[in-house]
Structure 1
Amino acid sequence: MQLHFLGTGAGMPSKERNTSAIMVKLLDENGEMWLFDCGEATQHQILHTSLKPRKVSKIFITHLHGDHIFGLPGFLSSRSFQGGDEPLTIFGPAGLQQWVEQTFSLSKTHLTYPLHFVEVGEGIIYEDEKFTVHASELRHVVPCFGYRIEQKDLPGELLMEKVQSFGVPKGPLLGQLKRGQDIELENGTIIRAKDVVAPPKKGFTLTILGDTKYCEEAISLANQSDVIVHEATFDGSTTDLAASYGHSTNVEAAMVASRAGAKYLLLNHLSARFLPHDLPVFLAEAQAIFPQTFLTSDQSVFNWSNDKLF
């Protein structure tokens, strides 16, 4: 799994940061890419990458503020021009479908692929054989959701030393064992899959939170996550101001990660008030509470592999 941050700013674009958009690349897991929020000029940000819009199969919108959706009509229409013909599903709050469809109707925009909408509520909003996605409403000034992406357990690896000790030949029998099926050798020996296959490996859990002030809902949704992406529009000196706007500070984001028992925290959605020379102190404030905290920036990429983020 890879996280590619296309926009990490808050409210409006700045010279350093575009508005909100995160691409989650699941190419190794299921051959798909999922986009979380689509702020203004997201498609421009993609032009500076090797990302292919036609590979995006799902878009998850946290809320209907412009810095999270104003890039959506352009992205969707450009996907047609760029050869996208596979269906795309958009998950988001009530009103999102109306806004997109009305925009397309007034602009006479035609898509070359099926577009589906799922109105998000509390609980599981998507599930397949590999992933489950939970949504929970946070505390912002408009309805806003966080998303918890859970990868289902992965099959255990075949223990080749044990397999070879039993004299299992190369070929279809190995595949049967890996799929959890017992086999019988030509000499009549029964090999139990449980004896030669390692236990299932736990999948990763990624929680991407929309705009929110510090709240129990965020902590609950992010419980025991491997990676949390949390907004940090303000810093520790402006806690009351952050809450009044329905936002969080860097310190509060670190508190959420700590209380949730997470492994890693990525600070996102930073105000333009924080200039590059402010960021070392900004990061240190959060790391004092939750050491495994990192700052995101436009075009920054984080990889998850072997239970580590790098």
Structure 2
Amino acid sequence: MEIEFLGTGAGSPGKFRNVTSTALRLLDERNSVWLFDVGEATQHQILRTTLKPRKIDKIFITHLHGDHIFGLPGLLSSRSFQGGDAPLTIYGPKGIRDFVEVSLRVSETKLSYKIRYQELTTDGLVFEDAKFRVYAQHLDHRIECFGYRIEEKDHPGELQVEQLQAAKIPSGPVYGQLKAGKTVTLPDGRVINGTDFLGPAQPGRIVAILGDTRQTPNAEKLAINADVLVHESTFAKGESKLARSYYHSTNIQAAELAKRMHVKQLLLNHISARYTGKMAAELQHQARDVFKQTRVVKDFDEIEVPFEKLTKEGTPS
């Protein structure tokens, strides 16, 4: 699992930062990519990465401001041209379907795949499969806005081969069945429960990706115990009143949230064009005074989301 930032700027494209788009690369986990927001020229940014548009099967939109959605029509069209024929699902506030369908209809764009829409009106679970759950929560922005919490389900523990050998259980296809936690009957009549030979489960990873927001209790629900929190940082230390009046957050507010909610790593994005070079670095320094594991990301940064290390007893190390 990796997070790749396709755009980290706020409001309008800048010389060094494009507007918001974040890719969650789940190629090993489910051979797909999920996008969170699709700002203008996102497809141009993708050309500078190894991402394949046909791998994108879910798009999560936080809100309908232009710097978060203006790249959608072009990306959807290019996905069709580049061999994408599998269905794609778009999640977002009410109105996202109208925006996409009007854009495609007026431009007479025909897609080679079906788009499914899930317009969100309430908080809670919006997607679940065998490996992941995704939750949405309303945030506090000028228009309806959501944040998303992606929870990976726990991975089964490793098969304890030494214990199997000590029990004189012969190797072969039976090991695969036991690793899956199945109960098998051996040729000698013994009934073996696979769960008895599995190590502790590996906790799944949690990623929280927030849209534009003032501070709100719902952000705590999204961020709690997250391995990675992606949070906007439109304003800097000492600008909390300004941030509130524009329905945004400061770097310090994001850092305080991360510390309070026991986040492991904070990634600050949605950086105003006012902050370049040393000023952007200062945003990071200020936030690290509150929460050390903070990083101000830039376009094309790739961040791996590691598994939590466990002791032999299965507790966090």
What is the TM-score when the length of structure 1 is the normalising length?
A: 0.97
Q: Is residue 254 of structure 2 the alignment partner of residue 253 of structure 1?
A: yes
Q: Is residue 31 of structure 2 the alignment partner of residue 31 of structure 1?
A: yes
SS at match of 1:236: coil
What's 1:52 paired with? 52
Amino acid at match of 2:60: F
SS at match of 2:29: coil
What's 1:226 paired with? 227
Inter-partner Cα distance in structure 1 for 2:107 and 2:259: 47
Deviation at 1:150, TM superposition (A): 0.4
What's 2:101 paired with? 101
Deviation at 1:214, TM superposition (A): 1.5
Amino acid at match of 1:233: T
* Range moving further from structure 2, 6-15 or 189-198: 189-198
Amino acid at match of 1:57: D
Deviation at 1:191, TM superposition (A): 2.7
Inter-partner Cα distance in structure 1 for 2:10 and 2:133: 28
What's 2:296 paired with? 295
Inter-partner Cα distance in structure 1 for 2:295 and 2:164: 43
Deviation at 1:222, TM superposition (A): 1.2
CA contact (8 A) 2:283 2:296 kept: no
Deviation at 1:170, TM superposition (A): 2.2
Amino acid at match of 2:252: V
Gapped regions of structure 2 (runs ≥ 5): 310-317
Aligned-pair identity in percent equals 51
Inter-partner Cα distance in structure 2 for 1:190 and 1:129: 28
Query: How does 1:252-271 map onto structure 2 within 5 Å?
Result: 252-271=253-272
Inter-partner Cα distance in structure 2 for 1:23 and 1:4: 5
What's 1:179 paired with? 180
Q: Is residue 65 of structure 2 the alignment partner of residue 65 of structure 1?
A: yes
Deviating beyond 4 angstroms after TM superposition, the runs of 4 or more aligned structure 1 residues are none
Inter-partner Cα distance in structure 1 for 2:193 and 2:90: 44
Inter-partner Cα distance in structure 2 for 1:307 and 1:129: 20
What's 2:112 paired with? 112
Inter-partner Cα distance in structure 2 for 1:246 and 1:47: 32
SS at match of 1:183: strand
SS at match of 2:286: helix
Q: Is residue 22 of structure 2 the alignment partner of residue 22 of structure 1?
A: yes
Inter-partner Cα distance in structure 2 for 1:92 and 1:266: 22
Deviation at 1:188, TM superposition (A): 2.8
Query: How does 1:156-171 map onto structure 2 within 5 Å?
Result: 156-171=157-172
What's 1:137 paired with? 138
Gapped regions of structure 1 (runs ≥ 5): none
Inter-partner Cα distance in structure 2 for 1:153 and 1:248: 32
What's 1:198 paired with? 199
Inter-partner Cα distance in structure 1 for 2:207 and 2:280: 24
Inter-partner Cα distance in structure 2 for 1:41 and 1:214: 29
* Range moving further from structure 2, 213-222 or 264-273: 213-222
1:78-122: per-residue Cα shift (whole Å, max 9, x none)?
A: 101111101000000000101110111111111010111001131
Q: Is residue 8 of structure 2 the alignment partner of residue 3 of structure 1?
A: no
Deviation at 1:28, TM superposition (A): 0.7
What's 2:125 paired with? 124
SS at match of 1:29: helix
1:24-59: per-residue Cα shift (whole Å, max 9, x none)?
A: 000111111000000000000011111100000000
Deviation at 1:156, TM superposition (A): 1.3
Inter-partner Cα distance in structure 2 for 1:124 and 1:240: 33
Deviation at 1:242, TM superposition (A): 0.7
CA RMSD of aligned residues (A): 1.1
1:136-189: per-residue Cα shift (whole Å, max 9, x none)?
A: 000000000000000111111101111111122222211111111222332333
* Range moving further from structure 2, 195-204 or 96-105: 195-204
Deviation at 1:295, TM superposition (A): 1.3
